[in-house]
Amino acid sequence: MPKGELRFVNARLPLSGGGLYELASEGGRWTVVRPQEELLEVAGAIPIRDRRVVDVSAVAPAIDLEGRIALPGFADMHMHLDKALTLPEVGNESGTLLEAIANYGGKIAGFSKAHIRERIVRAALLGLSHGTLYMRSHLDIALQHGREVMMRTVEAALEAREELKGRVELQFFPMLAFDEHPAEAAKLSEELIGLGMDGLGGCPHLREDPVSDVKLLFRQAAKLGVPVDLHTDETDNPSMRTIEAICRAAIAEGYQGKVTAGHLCSLASMPKREAEPLMALMAEAGVGAVTLPAVNLYLQGRGDDGPFRRGVTRVKELLEAGVKVAAGSDNIQDPFHPFGRGDLLHIGSVAAYAAHMGAPADAGRIVRMITETPAALIGLAEYGVKAGGPANLVVTDAMSETELLLWESPSRWVMANGSWVSAQVRESWL
């Protein structure tokens, strides 16, 4: 079905300089992206808060955003959609990471493919309702329960991606281990990439031999030509530094710009003099970072007698070292993290608290951590409100980036490829 023409005026685009813009889309693509000198008054324009705007496929003469912030969609690049929303079935008495891993591992064989797919779709739609149009999910590869159980998750993920096509762009990274049985891991990774997985993931710091795990995984990723995204040093232990092996492997394989390290909790529990060279090495190796502030605040520091470490990595220092830093949701309502709603504005706000980033200039840095930085790290070729690009947009009720984090915009209007896919219109503070 051809998509009608939608026109917008008075859209404030912080990722395009922060000014006001006039926009038009047709056939799912932006046809007009034109800066405005000042707020425009267009006779007959419908204000965005008018419920009529999302019920029709074409609006003339225009939808008036009245100076509201609009973004080309949030990008949540570290999720676990296959585990999301399992909290009612998988508890966690102690609340620790280790009990979460054990309890989830004990239940996974009982989950049917349909059940996993249904949760992936539900969690992705939850994110979409908050404006997330791009997601990368790690996937559990529970080989200990046999191939059939493992393939349920893989197939459920691929089917969910098909079902969400045109609304959410999904990437999947299976979490693999290479150190114990390298030949089998290499074969399996090749098969999974062949089936449509997007890159290789893993948790090398939990392996018997992290350095060899990292080296073997990178060798295989280079052979297959796919990116790497690893859970990295998700521990309070200050001597855990697999990030060093990851950076060295990235350099050795010529993989600068294709590698992401998530969590990096130990960076925050080691002294600055030890963390600084590692952060400089990350910048040199072109390794991006993802902070998962909600989950790490919840999971880390549990073994401490006091003072309590809070687990969130050195966000400001990484940015200052020249490392690309994104912020993501990680787990949503599962044994690893009983909270979360797939709302990256909320994650941005938690990141701002946890990383001591409340200065006026920080709001813009936080907004980039949930938009253009993860978009670049996951390798999106067409991100941004640009003529010719996909007509993706999330409209908020905020007039500035500071307001965006302050109020987390209860209303969100979400457009994917020129069609409205979600609209939550709530009472405004404006």
* Residue 236 or 330 with smaller CB distance to Zn ion: 330
Q: How far apart are CB 395 and Zn ion at their closest, in Å? A: 30
Bridge-partner residues for 334, per DSSP?
A: 337
- Residue owning tokens 């912080």: 14
Q: How far apart are CB 156 and Zn ion at their closest, in Å? A: 18
- Residue owning tokens 């309702």: 129
Structure-block tokens of residue 295? 């989950």
* Residue 77 or 126 with smaller CB distance to Zn ion: 77
Distance from chain centroid for Cα 6: 28
* Residue 133 or 203 with smaller CB distance to Zn ion: 203
Structure-block tokens of residue 249? 């492997």
Residue 372 is which amino acid? E
The CB density around residue 61, as the number of other CB atoms within 10 Å, is 12
Determine contact, residues 340/294, Cβ cutoff 8 Å. yes
* Residue 15 or 192 with smaller CB distance to Zn ion: 192
Q: What is the CA radius of gyration of the chain?
A: 22
Q: How far apart are CB 376 and Zn ion at their closest, in Å? A: 20
Site residues for Zn ion, 52-111, by CB under 5 A, read: none
- Binding-residue pattern over the window 253 to 272 for Zn ion, x denoting contact by CB under 5 A: --------------------
- Residue owning tokens 């006091």: 306
Q: What is the 3-state secondary structure (H, E, C) of 102-136?
A: HHHHHHHHHCCHHHHHHHHHHHHHHHHHCCEEEEE
Q: How far apart are CB 416 and Zn ion at their closest, in Å? A: 25
Q: How much helix, strand and coil, in percent to the nearest 5, is found in the chain?
A: 40, 20, 40
Bridge-partner residues for 263, per DSSP?
A: 232
* Residue 198 or 330 with smaller CB distance to Zn ion: 330
Nearest residue by C-beta to Zn ion? Answer: 330
* Residue 152 or 231 with smaller CB distance to Zn ion: 231
Q: Residue 420's closest CA among 180, 167, 172, 211?
A: 167
Determine contact, residues 328/290, Cβ cutoff 8 Å. yes
Determine contact, residues 154/195, Cβ cutoff 8 Å. yes
Determine contact, residues 200/221, Cβ cutoff 8 Å. yes
How many chain residues touch Zn ion (CB under 5 A)?
1
Burial profile 375-407: b = 16 or more Cβ within 10 angstroms, e = fewer: bbbbebeebbbeeebbbbbbbbbbebbbbbbeb
Q: How far apart are CB 203 and Zn ion at their closest, in Å? A: 8
* Residue 135 or 393 with smaller CB distance to Zn ion: 135
110 contacts: CB under 8 Å, gap ≥ 6: none
* Residue 185 or 299 with smaller CB distance to Zn ion: 299
* Residue 22 or 234 with smaller CB distance to Zn ion: 234
Q: How far apart are CB 338 and Zn ion at their closest, in Å? A: 15
Q: How far apart are CB 311 and Zn ion at their closest, in Å? A: 13
* Residue 23 or 287 with smaller CB distance to Zn ion: 287
Q: How far apart are CB 45 and Zn ion at their closest, in Å? A: 44
Q: How far apart are CB 243 and Zn ion at their closest, in Å? A: 15
Q: How far apart are CB 155 and Zn ion at their closest, in Å? A: 21
Distance from chain centroid for Cα 393: 17
Determine contact, residues 261/289, Cβ cutoff 8 Å. yes
- Residue owning tokens 């425009």: 40
- Binding-residue pattern over the window 315 to 334 for Zn ion, x denoting contact by CB under 5 A: ---------------x----
Q: How far apart are CB 328 and Zn ion at their closest, in Å? A: 8
Ramachandran area for residue 73 (φ above 0: left; ψ -120 to 50: alpha; else beta): left
* Residue 66 or 76 with smaller CB distance to Zn ion: 76
Using CB under 5 A, list all residues that contact Zn ion. 330
